[in-house]
Chain A
């Protein structure tokens, strides 16, 4: 489930001695699941039409990439394969420079690419990206993770040469802003605790983790235990927030999604303007997502509803973690990582984790990955079948 849902948390007992075939399969699950989930969601939207479409508006999934699902699927896989060739080659070169042999570097490069582009977060080695001790590998991973956090609708616009979409799109703006804000807060947090005294090292470690968390990839360059014992309180809190926010709607990333955050912020701005302006003033708020659109109350309400459901999901898993005696920081971190497909871990998810927590995290992965509406629709469908009404 963690593989197909591109979560990145693992219960494998001895990753470092795992057969190459099994390890490759773990990463392939992410590659299949990453693109697959986007296709599944788009298919649900396309087949369900208006009713579910309204609810998905809150998720920014009202826009179609191409006129039909088959052409969309072909486009998505074309994009993924082009990135795969370029990304794996660059990672292979970076790993060669890190001191790996060519065949091993290719194997690790392919696995790393699948984990990064599909925002999965599995790693070939138990120590994740830290194993390679290479800034070159980290530099190559940053744009791959970012591309994975982009929606395929945006990829399509870029494919068509509409680069201005990068600047105008509400989601890219929201993500850029939140990344900048959270990165600043993280630097303040790490600086206050004195975790890093070298500013360049702090920037390197902080930025990699922000991108990894925000795109819900989950690749790490430090052992997860250090988030608790050496990173203070503020920096891990920023990581939790970044994972909770997530990437773009219609991407392989999970989380609340930049579209919803953007719509809610636009809604708040509009309401504040309404209060400040004369009573008879007509306030219209717009946003850009492929085309310029007028913000409606329905969209804001749907986004807020889904946001609320996400918060319930995050805190629900956190509460169960508290029940089993874990600290609030650990319980919330791991619950958010499971639900948002963030994948970073402070060590709570491990092979000997209590089974109710395992079940809960798996359920969170499914709900978070398929999003609430798809789950509601699935339950409704099953109920209708049982009642003989389908």
Chain B
């Protein structure tokens, strides 16, 4: 039995040409992606509004950090609720545990109705503020930041827009107690008892771009063509 013939080495020129073709293909895909984007401009809102805190920042909590079951030093505490952000709550969960807080955020995701109330998420990141949600502009300012909130049913009934794709959610100010660990077993949530709408949300009016639909259609036809050709070639073998 003779040994199989040894394959000839691939010429370097062919390898280089193949590499260049791959790079060109990648560049074309990126270029098409850029062309198909909405012609939004960055807003003029200052860059210092970030989506989340830098993990390198030193955390300084305003009060000692008592654990559950320990006596909390209430000297200097007032009955007025404390205005907090999600970053502050996560940086110092022991400090705010059991405290009445005021929290402002955009309703996002969904409203999950239960017997005890309605669970939702209120985001207080940069997209909930003046900049607005991302589909409507080209300001990329970090990830989301928010807190889970249990709204009373009557307060949840006031929500007209829930933030999501193409929708900016209502901005709500809620007052309630922050629980590092809630009685229901949920972690880092606010049980709100009162609240009010600060700003009504709305839908993003920008319609989908026509050339995107054309591109999607062309891509689909090409994909079907490639698969069909591959099947046809395989069947002929």
Given known contacts A12-B143, A19-B165, A194-B68, A229 and B111 CB-to-CB distance under 8 angstroms: no
Q: Indicate which residue in B94, B127, B145 contacts A17 across the interface (CB closer than 8 Å).
A: B127
Q: Give the chain A neighbours of B108 by CB distance below 8 A.
A: 16-17, 125
Q: How far, in whole Å, are A142 and B26 apart by their CA atoms in the complex?
A: 39
Binary flags per residue of A359-390, CB closer than 8 Å to B gives 1, else 0: 00000000000000000000000000110111
Binary flags per residue of A1-42, CB closer than 8 Å to B gives 1, else 0: 000000000101111111110010000000000000000000
Given known contacts A16-B108, A16-B109, A226-B188, A388 and B143 CB-to-CB distance under 8 angstroms: no
Minimum C-beta distance from A233 to chain B (A): 15
User: Which residues 324-363 of A have a CB within 8 angstroms of B?
Assistant: 325-327, 330, 346-348, 350-352
Minimum C-beta distance from A93 to chain B (A): 15
Q: Indicate which residue in A101, A196, A197, A229 contacts B93 across the interface (CB closer than 8 Å).
A: A229
Q: How far, in whole Å, are A239 and B140 apart by their CA atoms in the complex?
A: 31
Q: Give the chain A neighbours of B113 by CB distance below 8 A.
A: 99
| B93 with A226: CB separation less than 8 A | yes
Minimum C-beta distance from A299 to chain B (A): 31
B positions within 8 Å CB-CB of A? 7, 9-12, 15, 50-53, 55-56, 59, 67-69, 87, 90-94, 108-114, 118-119, 121, 123, 125, 127, 133-135, 140-146, 148, 163-168, 180-181, 184-189
Asked if A169 is an interface residue, CB under 8 A from chain B, the answer is: no
Known: A99-B111, A221-B187, A222-B188. 17 other contacts (CB 8 A): A10-B143, A14-B125, A15-B144, A17-B133, A17-B134, A98-B112, A125-B121, A130-B186, A130-B187, A197-B68, A205-B187, A226-B188, A229-B93, A326-B55, A347-B55, A385-B15, A388-B10
Given known contacts A14-B133, A350-B142, A229 and B148 CB-to-CB distance under 8 angstroms: no
Q: Give the chain A neighbours of B87 by CB distance below 8 A.
A: 225
| A19 with B166: CB separation less than 8 A | yes
Given known contacts A14-B134, A17-B165, A230-B93, A386 and B12 CB-to-CB distance under 8 angstroms: yes
Minimum C-beta distance from B122 to chain A (A): 11
In the complex, the number of residue pairs spanning A and B with C-beta atoms less than 8 Å apart equals: 158
Find the A residue at minimum CB distance from B15. A385
Q: Give the chain B neighbours of A104 by CB distance below 8 A.
A: 110
Asked if A100 is an interface residue, CB under 8 A from chain B, the answer is: yes
Q: Give the chain A neighbours of B109 by CB distance below 8 A.
A: 16, 125, 131
Q: How far, in whole Å, are A339 and B127 apart by their CA atoms in the complex?
A: 31
